[in-house]
């Protein structure tokens, strides 16, 4: 009975070994032939840890055949961290061929930093080997030119092309292309504003590139600026003249408003004077109405005689006659 149990146990062990050999013998032989030996136990442990053995083995074969010393443990750790081991190895191979110093840990850090950004560590190395050109400004949905105003008030619009390559040492944590574009745009606007006339910009467009490059705009970024080339320069509107015209129009409106205030004040003063004149006339009429009463009082008290009264009436009649004659003469002689 015991012998049968032993036989069954041995058959089970043989089946397990056969399954392991069937699944991993191909990878194991392939790794042995290429010089990137991996033990069968290591392959089984990869499967148990949820790591695809074929991916690790093939990636290590690529690294070893390219002269790189990378262990399976390093590749497994990076895979478990969520990285792309294929991109890392390809980047290390490309950097080694181009003579760019790049360690495995640095490549893994760059790979993890680019997750979800649409970029990869291999692209970073490729950009470091083959510099890329960035249009400034970036034209998708934005302005097509960078506009600046010279000291003479003329708008100058420029378009630049910035040649950059990846700085692998600052790729993790460094500013992106958007920062490069913004800094170059700021430098172009500043340089145009320093020109006395727009003609200076047209005569020496290379001066923009020289001044902008001297500012060290790539500091703190993931790129190194190799060159800034002015692709196109055009002349825009006369902003200075427009601003002066608008200022003159604003000053005119202010002057008109002040004049209107003064006119309103003068009209109010005129109306006030007319009211005072009417008030004085009312007082005169009131005083004249008291004259007959004063005359009668003077006659009653004997201060004024009858003959004096008639002389006063005759004087008033003569005065009215002269006024009427002078009024008729003036109306006759008037046109």
What pLDDT score was predicted for residue 15? 61
* 253/35 Cα distance (integer angstroms): 89
Q: Is 270 exposed, middle or buried (0-12, 13-18, 19+ CB in 10 A)?
A: exposed
Angle CA(186)–CA(188)–CA(190) in degrees, nearest 5? 70
pLDDT per residue over 21-76, tens digit each? 556 677 777 778 777 778 777 877 887 788 888 888 888 888 888 888 888 888 88
CB 108 within 8 A of CB 78: yes
The answer for residues whose C-beta is within 8 angstroms of residue 277's C-beta and 6 or more apart is none
Buried (b) or exposed (e) across 194-207, using 16+ Cβ within 10 A?
Answer: ebeebebbeeebee
Name the one residue in this structure whose structure tokens are 């080694």.
Answer: 96
- The predicted model gives 307-327 an average pLDDT of 80
What DSSP element (H or E) covers 132?
strand 132-136
DSSP 8-state assignment for residue 139: -
What pLDDT score was predicted for residue 334? 45
* 33/25 Cα distance (integer angstroms): 12
What pLDDT score was predicted for residue 332? 46
Q: Which comes out higher in pLDDT, residue 23 or 300?
A: 300
DSSP 8-state assignment for residue 170: G
Tell which residue, 28, 22, 63, has the closest CA to residue 43: 28
Buried (b) or exposed (e) across 166-184, using 16+ Cβ within 10 A?
Answer: bbbebbeebbebebbbebb
> Any idea how long the chain is?
335
For the cut 50, the answer to whether the pLDDT of residue 333 exceeds it is: no
At residue 34, φ and ψ (nearest 5 deg) are -85, 0
What pLDDT score was predicted for residue 257? 92
CATH topology of domain 132-235: Tetrahydropterin Synthase; Chain A (3.30.479)
- The predicted model gives 297-325 an average pLDDT of 79
* 153/192 Cα distance (integer angstroms): 11
Question: pLDDT band at 301, cuts 50/70/90?
Answer: confident
Q: Which comes out higher in pLDDT, residue 40 or 246?
A: 246
Q: Which two tokens stand for residue 22?
A: 């069937």
* Axis crossing angle, helix 206-214 with helix 177-194, rounded to the nearest 10: 120
* 128/131 Cα distance (integer angstroms): 6
What pLDDT score was predicted for residue 64? 86
3-state class of 153 per DSSP? coil
Q: Which two tokens stand for residue 56?
A: 């690790």
**Side-chain half-sphere exposure of 303, counting CA atoms within 13 A:** 6
pLDDT per residue over 129-162, tens digit each? 888 888 888 766 667 888 888 888 888 888 888 8
What pLDDT score was predicted for residue 253? 92
- The predicted model gives 320-335 an average pLDDT of 64
* 54/43 Cα distance (integer angstroms): 9
What pLDDT score was predicted for residue 139? 65
Q: Is the pTM of this model over 0.85?
A: no
Q: Which comes out higher in pLDDT, residue 308 or 23?
A: 308
Per DSSP, helices labelled H in 66-176 are 72-80, 85-98, 104-113, 121-129
What pLDDT score was predicted for residue 66? 85
pLDDT per residue over 250-289, tens digit each? 999 999 999 999 999 999 989 999 899 888 988 888 887 8
* 63/88 Cα distance (integer angstroms): 10
pLDDT per residue over 195-232, tens digit each? 888 888 888 888 888 888 888 877 888 888 888 888 88
For the cut 50, the answer to whether the pLDDT of residue 178 exceeds it is: yes
Name the one residue in this structure whose structure tokens are 């495995």.
Answer: 104
pLDDT per residue over 66-110, tens digit each? 888 888 888 888 888 888 888 999 888 888 888 888 888 888 888
Segments of the chain assigned to CATH 3.30.479.30: 132-235
């Amino acid at each position: 009975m015991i012998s049968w149990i032993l036989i069954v146990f041995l058959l089970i062990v043989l089946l397990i070994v056969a399954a392991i050999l069937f699944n991993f013998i191909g990878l194991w032989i392939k790794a042995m032939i290429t010089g990137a030996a991996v033990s069968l136990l290591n392959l089984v442990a990869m499967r148990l840890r949820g790591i695809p053995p074929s991916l690790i083995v093939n990636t290590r074969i690529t690294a070893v055949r390219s002269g790189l010393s990378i262990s399976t443990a390093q590749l497994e750790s990076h895979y478990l961290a969520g990285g792309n081991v294929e991109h890392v190895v390809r980047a290390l191979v490309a950097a080694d061929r181009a003579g760019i110093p790049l360690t495995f840990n640095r490549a893994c850090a760059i790979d993890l930093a680019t997750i979800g950004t649409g970029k990869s560590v291999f692209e970073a190395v490729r950009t470091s080997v083959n510099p890329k050109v960035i249009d400034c400004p970036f034209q998708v949905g934005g302005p097509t030119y960078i506009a600046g105003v010279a000291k003479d008030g003329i708008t100058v619009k420029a378009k630049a092309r910035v040649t950059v390559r990846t700085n692998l040492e600052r790729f993790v944590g460094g500013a992106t292309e958007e920062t490069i574009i913004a800094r170059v745009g700021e430098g172009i606007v500043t340089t145009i504003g320093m020109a006395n006339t727009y003609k200076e910009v047209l005569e020496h467009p290379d001066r923009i590139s020289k001044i902008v490059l001297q500012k060290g705009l790539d500091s703190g970024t993931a790129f190194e600026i190799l060159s800034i080339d002015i692709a196109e320069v055009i002349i825009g509107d006369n902003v200075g003249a427009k601003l002066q015209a608008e200022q003159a129009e604003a000053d005119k409106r202010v002057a008109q408003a002040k004049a209107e205030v003064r006119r309103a004040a003068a009209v109010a003063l005129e109306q006030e004077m007319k009211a005072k004149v009417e008030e004085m006339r009312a007082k005169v009429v009131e005083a004249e109405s008291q004259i007959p009463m004063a005359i009668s009082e003077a006659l009653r008290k004997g201060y004024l005689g009858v003959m004096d009264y008639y002389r006063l009436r005759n004087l008033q009649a003569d005065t009215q006659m002269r006024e009427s004659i002078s009024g008729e003469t003036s109306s006759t002689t008037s046109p």
